[in-house]
Structure 1
Amino acid sequence: MGKRKRLSVVSLIRNSESRAQVQEQQETSAQHQEQSQAQQLGQSEEVRGIGGEQSQTSAENINRKKVRGVTLMSEIWELPEGQRVNVKINSLYQPVGEESTCLCRFIGTMVRKAEFAPINYLNWYEMPNNKKEEMWSTIEVCFLP
């Protein structure tokens, strides 16, 4: 698994006290990421018993098929108020770069949530405009063009 790149998050907070709080939150989230990476490394190493035998748990881990998993985008949903992800756009107003991938994944998680896109509408034309506006305002809150 590759190392995650850090997204460019823009702070919209003006006063210095709030900025200090945001910096503390960023530092604690960075420490949490380092700890989780260390735990992942510890889990991926083989555990050998006496005489060089592999333990049963490591043998089970080797036989498991690697899967992609669920896309949650929790780092975007849990952004502190006043911070946005800066998405670069090209001359045709198309998102480009790493942040554009993040934007697409976020939209994918949003449309899977029943409060944004209920399943009783078969296509986007039948979807009420207030639901579409609610999704758009959520995207504007989290992302900055």
Structure 2
Amino acid sequence: MESLKKDTSGQWILLSGLVIAIMLVVVATLFNQVNITGYYASNAALEFPKEDIRELSTQTRLTTSQAYDKAVIINQSSNQTIEQITTSLIQSYNSQLSTIYASHGKAVDVEVANFTYGPNNSTEIVSIWVDITYDDGTTFYSAEPEIVEVNQ
């Protein structure tokens, strides 16, 4: 029994085994952190509402163009100017759009900012500047101004 106490050659094997076990635990923890970080980073990119914003911008451009065309027609039988009619139609669009997006927990606001007139004829509207804001609680987007060419 005395000879086993004096034989220390097995201590190096135990010590190296303990060091290797600790290193494996550290490496496994680091790999786990890398996987979790990659998951959350890619998930955050998927949660960005770029399709909602793109759809809002496209629909607003189309509606602004159509509102201008309708305003030109209504102006022929009305006392209001094209600017007043277009602004009124965009306000109605904004009201309906806000209601639809609010039912999904998002805030949207579309407002007419400015009218740009042609160089040759001071009464000819060339483009309409529209301010668009989008907020879903996480992402805030603002396009000020979104320029819509209407008289082409």
TM-score (norm 1): 0.29
- TM-score normalised per structure 2: 0.28
Q: Which has the larger radius of gyration?
A: 2
Larger relative contact order (CA 8 Å, sep ≥ 6) = 1
**Structure with more helix by fraction:** 2
